[in-house]
Amino acid sequence: MNRLVEIRRQESLCRERAALDFERRVFWLAQAEEWKQRAVDEIAHHFRECNLAHAELTAA
């Protein structure tokens, strides 16, 4: 889950830049959305792995 923390940190940095850089605000917000989607993907990946491990334990 350390990876998720880093992804969320990048999203936050992009949002901070968007607030400070009016000329490139749209760019930074788009970058933040990409990082947000990466976080969602990372969470989904984590739960798939947990469910797979659980299924393997209960099948044994």
- Say what the pLDDT of residue 9 is: 98
Tens of pLDDT, residue by residue, the chain (60 residues):
799 999 999 999 999 999 999 999 999 999 999 999 999 999 999 999 888 777 777 776
Q: For 21, phi and psi rounded to 5 degrees? A: -115, 85
- For the entire predicted model, the pTM comes to 0.80
Tell me which residue range forms the domain holding 19: 2-59
pLDDT at residue number 57: 72
- Number of folded domains that form the chain: 1
Burial 32-43 (b: 16+ CB within 10 A, else e): beebbebbeebe
